[in-house]
């Protein structure tokens, strides 16, 4: 593995981040139009979820019933009805098992991006293992989608102060942006001091696009999806996304998982009460809430929303003939 000896282990500090030029045309909503937000899906199955790892250890992942193909297609149908395009951060193990699903996502005009190969947290990997994980997943997804993969989201938002080398690994492997930080205080993840708006890493040029967070009552509150969206009333997310758009002038970057629209998934036994509550509550209400969210706000893929779509297509011999020329629509 080619690993740059110059790779930095110095912690990235506030001075290392640069806000992009908000006045550049790529970042602006058309005059008089609604603020366009960025919609994303982390394509993984219920047994990949870290909070359920006590019930589904990694070495037993070949056993559980597969649900991700059907639940992702349910989301694709929902987005189609709403006329919305999104970014799908696909796990490598899911792409290997369901290659047609990745082709279907690309054919639908959505962005195919990487969620890494086996859902291992970045801070549990060495820089060498992380680089290998990135390369393997990117090659796999590009072959299936017939398009360059430029975006990455770390499993469980696990890029943090323990992984100062992560952005160099991402650039080395040809990624242009990361959406791997959730800038709140949280028991499983979080980067509470990181800027709430997209920033460019000065050393590597990589753009980090954090999940949406508002500041209210002196606190940072997530309005970017996950359990916050599913467990709290819809009005909470609606109010805070509107506030982020209107008062802060920022687009919201929102995320969800296919298993969140799958109330029929198996229920794991012997889980801590908190994990059970977070994972299984209000699954049946999720699809209706999503329909409202897609109706109430304007949405697009992350790469197009943030002006990153001008990347030339990779030439792949076995790309599907019908692969859309997405860059031409930017
Ligand atoms: Zn994940």
Kindly state the average pLDDT of the residues 225-236: 91
Å from CA of 117 to ligand 1 middle: 10
Locate 284 and state its tokens. Answer: 């049946």
In which residue are the tokens 């809430």 written?
289
Burial profile 101-117: b = 16 or more Cβ within 10 angstroms, e = fewer:
bbbbbbbeebbbbbbbb
Neighbours of ion ligand 1 (CB under 5 A): 42, 44, 155
DSSP 56: S
Å from CA of 158 to ligand 1 middle: 10
DSSP 219: E
Q: Is the pLDDT of residue 106 over 90?
A: yes
What does the pLDDT look like over 143-169, one tens digit per residue?
999 999 999 999 999 988 888 899 999
Q: Is the pLDDT of residue 4 over 80?
A: no
Q: Which of 3-17, 19-33, 111-125 has the lowest mean pLDDT?
A: 3-17
Å from CA of 103 to ligand 1 middle: 20
For residues 40 and 187, which has the higher predicted lDDT (pLDDT)? 40
How are beta strands 253-256 and 36-43 bridged, if at all? Answer: parallel
The third-level CATH classification (topology) of the domain covering 34-306 is TIM Barrel (3.20.20)
Say if CB 227 and CB 189 are below 8 A apart. no
What does the pLDDT look like over 243-285, one tens digit per residue?
999 998 899 999 999 999 999 999 988 888 888 888 888 888 9
Å from CA of 45 to ligand 1 middle: 9
Which pLDDT does position 41 carry in this prediction? 98
Q: Where are the domains of the chain?
A: 34-306
Locate 174 and state its tokens. Answer: 């040809």
Å from CA of 153 to ligand 1 middle: 8
What does the pLDDT look like over 292-322, one tens digit per residue?
999 999 999 999 999 888 544 444 443 333 3
Å from CA of 42 to ligand 1 middle: 6
């Amino acid at each position: 593995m080619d690993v740059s000896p110059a790779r930095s282990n110095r912690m990235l500090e506030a001075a290392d981040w640069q806000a992009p030029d908000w006045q550049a045309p790529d970042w602006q909503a058309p005059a008089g139009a609604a603020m366009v937000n960025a919609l994303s899906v982390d394509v993984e199955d219920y047994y990949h979820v870290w909070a359920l790892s006590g019930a589904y250890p990694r070495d037993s992942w070949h056993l559980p019933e597969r649900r991700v193909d059907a639940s992702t297609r349910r989301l694709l149908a929902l987005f189609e009805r709403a006329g919305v395009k999104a970014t799908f951060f696909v796990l490598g193990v899911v792409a290997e098992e369901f290659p047609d699903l990745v082709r279907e996502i690309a054919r639908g005009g959505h962005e195919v991006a990487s969620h890494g190969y086996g859902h291992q947290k970045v801070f549990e990997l060495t820089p060498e293992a992380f680089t290998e994980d990135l390369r393997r997943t990117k090659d796999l997804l590009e072959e299936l989608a017939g398009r360059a993969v430029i975006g990455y989201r770390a499993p469980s938002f696990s890029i943090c102060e323990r992984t100062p080398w992560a952005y160099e690994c991402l650039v080395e492997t040809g990624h242009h942006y990361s959406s791997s930080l959730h800038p709140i205080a949280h028991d499983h993840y979080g980067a509470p001091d990181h800027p709430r708006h997209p920033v460019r890493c000065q050393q590597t040029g990589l753009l980090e696009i954090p999940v949406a967070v508002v500041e209210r009552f002196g606190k940072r509150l997530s309005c970017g999806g996950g359990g916050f969206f599913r467990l709290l009333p819809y009005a909470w997310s609606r109010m805070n996304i509107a506030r982020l758009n209107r008062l802060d002038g920022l687009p919201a970057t929102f995320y969800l998982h296919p298993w969140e629209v799958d109330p029929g998934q198996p229920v794991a036994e012997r889980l801590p009460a908190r994990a059970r509550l977070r994972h299984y509550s209000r699954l049946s209400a999720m699809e209706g809430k999503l329909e409202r969210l897609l109706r109430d706000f304007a949405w697009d893929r992350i790469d197009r929303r943030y002006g990153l779509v001008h990347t030339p297509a990779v030439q792949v011999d076995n790309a599907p003939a019908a692969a859309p020329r997405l860059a031409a629509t930017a």
